[in-house]
Amino acid sequence: MPNRDYHDHRKNYQLGELNDDYLDANPFTLFQQWMDEAFEHGVLEPTAMTLSTVDAAQQPHARIVLLKAFSTEGLLFYTHYESAKGRELITSKRAALTFFWPALERQIRLEGIVDKLNSDESDRYFQSRPRDSQISAYISKQSQPVDTRAQLEQRMQEAQQRFADRPIPRPDNWGGYRFIPKRFEFWQGRPNRLHDRIQFTTHPTDPQAWSSARLSP
């Protein structure tokens, strides 16, 4: 395969700015504002976020998951507890999230800890999902090898027949997590790579209090 050189691929960002007034913002309020604007501008998959975790050997792993709810208590997402990310979150509850919206020239990075939701919260969300999505969660052994695509489709058909006339129970190994931010970083692309970066971190003794700082690009 020939070498590829991308040195000349660049974009001059110029859609917005983060002035110093943002240093006084509440990070949760600013997050909600940016998320609302992503929806208003028709950003593709605005709730898609990179979830980064670390395994027992300290190897980082990252994948895209979808944000399902947000409040000052944290960000919610759902997955299989026995998946690779589920096992990694047992090893270390520390994790990071990244949102990137190229259409707005914006990025949000979050660092924090992750806790499981209780069964009632996971049950409510599971029952709100489309029926076939429930079945997919029920049959999947996420992150485990499978011989062929046909095997997955056969499992799907068998489960559809099995639950044809009754509710699908939430699997014990599937449910939600709450990501509790300890750090936010809001990034706005600016001309000439002189980007704006505003960081918010929790106070060491008061998790409800936040300090802020402008970071060099």
Two tokens, residue 63: 């994948």
3-class DSSP state for residue 99? strand
Options 183, 193, 197, 214, the catalytic residue? 193
**Separation between Cα atoms, residue 214 and residue 22, nearest integer Å:** 9
97 close to 49: Cβ distance less than 8 angstroms = yes
Q: Active site includes 193?
A: yes
Residues 6+ apart with CB under 8 A from 160: 132, 135
Owner of token pair 């998946």: 83
User: What is d(CA 77, CA 38) in angstroms, rounded to the nearest whole number?
Assistant: 19
Residues forming the active site: 193
